[in-house]
Amino acid sequence: MTQTCGFVAIVGRPNVGKSTLMNRILGQKISITSRRPQTTRHQVMGIKTEGEAQFIYVDTPGMHIMSKDRNKAINRFMNQAASQALRDVDCVVFIIDRTRWTPEDQVVLDKLTHVKAPVILAINKVDWLEDKASLLPWLEEVGAKHEFAAILPLSAKHGTNVPELEAEVAKHLPESIHYYPEDQITDRSQRFLAAELVREKVMRQLGDELPYQMTVEIEEFRDEGRVIHISALMLVERQGQKKILIGESGERIKKIGREARLEMERAFGAKVMLNLWVKVKRGWSDDDRALKSLGYDLE
């Protein structure tokens, strides 16, 4: 049988379920998730090999409108990372949230008008729709906005119609040798995943402002076989944020560390010794050089 292999960009505005969809397709967690917009900051590749077909999915940051409160170097980086993922892909999965069309959905669609690859529209979170009858007229309405290769309502969280989406994507994979070994599921390192898991726990636990002015740098990742020693530095921009992150008598940072460690042990299949530190680095999120040194690099 002929082998097929292709790149599939998963795009959409913030918080529509792109990372949840990729994790569901892969059957394990590669991209971190939270209810907060812009949890994903990097392109994250997820590889799925089924028989003669190899799907290389690229999870992307949510494309968003630059505004007064979202006009920092890190916002520009995220938009560029999402746009860059559209280059040279074989298929695009464009996700929207139920029967809502926002100006940011339009921003994404405008980008897709210049893409030669077929675009599949995935309408996510349909399990949350109270009025299921509203779906059919909505499918017709959004279908008129672009010449989509297919339109599929689905639930990334529960897996509804996800196999149908994969079957649709498979139609657009070109004939090609496989680029990755059959058992590889991402191009990202354990070190990268460790940093992301710490950031996820912060995103899930803390208020609206702090997670966006916080990043994680892994200072030590030492794998001794049965035990992995990890030291992670959480960078914030102000002294007050450091206090919030540490919490009363260190309770907050202990909880973040405990949850991140348990998740890492599941992901890495080994015991993890995790040390967390907090440091103030003023203005890191609006400094291109600082971002590059922290791994926010499109190269």
**18 appears as a binding residue in the annotation:** yes
Per-residue model confidence as pLDDT tens digits over 274-298? 999 999 999 998 988 988 888 888 7
Distances (CA, A) of 107 to 103, 123, 142, 161: 6, 17, 14, 26
Q: What is d(CA 260, CA 264) in angstroms, rounded to the nearest whole number?
A: 6
**19 appears as a binding residue in the annotation:** yes
Per-residue model confidence as pLDDT tens digits over 181-208? 999 999 999 999 999 999 999 988 886 6
**126 appears as a binding residue in the annotation:** yes
- Count the domains in the chain: 2
**13 appears as a binding residue in the annotation:** yes
Cα–Cα nearest to 272, from 281, 263, 280 = 263
Q: What is d(CA 199, CA 32) in angstroms, rounded to the nearest whole number?
A: 8
Per-residue model confidence as pLDDT tens digits over 59-74? 988 888 776 666 688 8
**102 appears as a binding residue in the annotation:** no
On whether both 111 and 226 belong to a single domain, the answer is no
Query: Cβ distance 154 to 160 under 8 Å?
Result: yes
Is residue 183 in some structural domain? no
Is residue 176 in some structural domain? no
On whether both 142 and 248 belong to a single domain, the answer is no
| Residue 102 structural domain | 4-171
**15 appears as a binding residue in the annotation:** yes
The CATH number assigned to the domain holding 35 equals 3.40.50.300
Per-residue model confidence as pLDDT tens digits over 232-283? 999 999 999 999 999 999 999 999 999 999 999 999 999 999 999 999 999 9
Is residue 153 in some structural domain? yes
On whether both 144 and 59 belong to a single domain, the answer is yes
**113 appears as a binding residue in the annotation:** no
The residue type at 268? F
**118 appears as a binding residue in the annotation:** no
pLDDT attached to residue 272 = 98
On whether both 67 and 164 belong to a single domain, the answer is yes
On whether both 261 and 206 belong to a single domain, the answer is yes
On whether both 88 and 202 belong to a single domain, the answer is no
Is residue 142 in some structural domain? yes
**51 appears as a binding residue in the annotation:** no
Consecutive H or E run containing 268: helix 251-268
On whether both 160 and 212 belong to a single domain, the answer is no
Q: Which of 171, 198, 223 is where one domain is finished?
A: 171
Per-residue model confidence as pLDDT tens digits over 123-152? 999 888 777 788 889 899 999 999 999 999
On whether both 132 and 17 belong to a single domain, the answer is yes
On whether both 166 and 258 belong to a single domain, the answer is no
The CATH number assigned to the domain holding 255 equals 3.30.300.20
Q: What is d(CA 213, CA 154) in angstroms, rounded to the nearest whole number?
A: 33
Per-residue model confidence as pLDDT tens digits over 205-235? 886 666 678 999 999 999 998 999 999 999 9
Q: What is d(CA 61, CA 64) in angstroms, rounded to the nearest whole number?
A: 9
The model carries a pTM of 0.90
**62 appears as a binding residue in the annotation:** yes
Per-residue model confidence as pLDDT tens digits over 9-45? 999 999 899 999 999 999 999 998 888 777 888 889 9
**14 appears as a binding residue in the annotation:** yes
